[in-house]
Amino acid sequence: MSKRVLTTESGAPVADNQNSATAGAGGPILLQDQHLLEKLARFNRERIPERVVHARGSGAYGYFEVTDDVTGFTRADFLSEVGRRTETFIRFSTVADSLGGADAVRDPRGFALKFYTDEGNYDLVGNNTPVFFIKDPIKFPDFIHSQKRDPFTGRQEPDNVWDFWAHSPEATHQITWLMGDRGIPASYRHMNGYGSHTYQWTNAAGEAFFVKYHFKTNQGVRSLSADQGAELAGKDAASHQTDLLQAIERGVNPSWTLHVQVMPAAEAADYRFNPFDVTKVWPHCDYPLQRVGRLVLDRNPDNVFAEVEQAAFSPNNFVPGIGPSPDKMLQGRLFAYADAHRYRLGINHTQLPVNAPKAAVVDNYGRDGLHATRYGSRQDKNYEPNSYSGPAETGAALAAPFAVHGWTGTHEAPAHTKDDDFFQAGELYRLMSADEKDRLVANIAGGLSQVTRDDVIEKNLAHFHAADADYGTRVEEAVRALRED
């Protein structure tokens, strides 16, 4: 077997990769050493800006297999028949910390899934919680600023975290999730995934439905206490990455069962609370889970940078039969995610192997830009319409339209009969066992007691009291006890 030859970026063989060219045996390095200059220059540039959120992540390839007939709800081709398999790539992540942070921390987890379908890539970008902290994207930059490192102290500040939450009562439901037992998953394999937002499905007859996605882990939900998480983070900062990598390498392929909740579009307007509010769940008694299929992960990436760090997901990557809803947070993400990737990876990030369609052909008039690899033939035109047999529009919308009316301007979301920022947080608290409530109260009090301003503490306590009287009283007593110590 012949030995592989080391080359420069231009393909020329490298004679010596151990010693730089110098002027004599002990002389200074020569500017003409192209291999040295190329290596150093490339090294200086081999990092790209990290994600503003979801910076630390892990990924794997796999497949999605349809197990149940859902053609009555959607005409999406990859969901069209039982037994149909579609290749997938998933990226798990923490949200608030930087690329160098630890995995076993109290934080929501990203659950971003790319389906390489025959009709193009479909990206489902969710979390391991069914709800989120805020309901309007205009608050998102402020929310993230409050959770990230303070520009003066360089650390996450409890004052900032809880001050923002004090002024955002809609966050109470997600805070109850985050501070509860599922706030620190034992691994990526042992947590559920959710689309979180409301999406639209449209069937072949043009009927529209609103749906929520639930990926239930087949490994069982396992979580860590605050002490267990701190211990694991100290032993192996990359604990979740290690677990996922080693499990797949052993052939222990993790899997999830996908269920959806389905709401006929006509029922949305009169539902008792706003079904497009991402701070709320749809009770299963109203819209039961309906099984769709299973997700299996069976292959690790060959290169973490190329395939995990450069993976780009955008919730505006839909396929026929699936589309958006009036969910305001989703509407903001339709722009923000794709734009973040244009900044981080360049305008042609969709041509990178991990992001490029695998089962569909890309044929459009996009040309040029940094790292362009797709040009077309010399006869192809770069405009449309044209008289040269270029690709043309289909005239068929991916999803059904929904009616809009009213005056332009900034508006609060329309109120439904049971809209409330606290009721579902209270419902979640009341579902917990006594031990779960103990841990929830301790986790909240541990952070809230560090806040230096009494008025911020009082505003947050009022939210927990509004959710449930016992909930608020126990948090208030725990915070007082910690502050008196």
Question: Catalytic residue at 127?
Answer: yes
Q: Write down the residue that tokens 């008025």 correspond to.
A: 455
Six-digit token string for 405: 């009316």
* Closest to 133 (Cα-Cα) out of 178, 103, 101, 97: 178
Question: Residue type for 130, please?
Answer: P
- Distance, in Å, from the CA atom of 356 to the CA atom of 352, rounded to the nearest integer, reads 6
Question: Residue type for 334, please?
Answer: L
* Closest to 98 (Cα-Cα) out of 154, 44, 162, 46: 154
Strands 322-323, 57-66: pairing is unpaired
Rg of the Cα trace of the chain? Answer: 25
* DSSP annotation string for 50-84: PPSSS-SEEEEEEEEEE-S--TTT---GGGSSTT-
* Closest to 318 (Cα-Cα) out of 201, 197, 194: 201
Q: What 8-state DSSP symbol labels residue 219?
A: T
Q: Which of 35, 121, 127, 274 is catalytic?
A: 127
Q: Which of 35, 54, 173, 214 is catalytic?
A: 54
**Number of helices (H) and strands (E), helices first, in the chain?**
12, 10
Six-digit token string for 436: 């779960």
Angle (nearest 5°) at CA 235 between 234 and 241: 100
What are the φ and ψ backbone dihedral angles of 88, each rounded to 5 degrees? -135, 160
* Closest to 444 (Cα-Cα) out of 484, 469, 472: 472
**Alpha helix stretches (DSSP H) within 210-327:** 226-235, 239-249, 304
Cite the active site residues: 54, 127
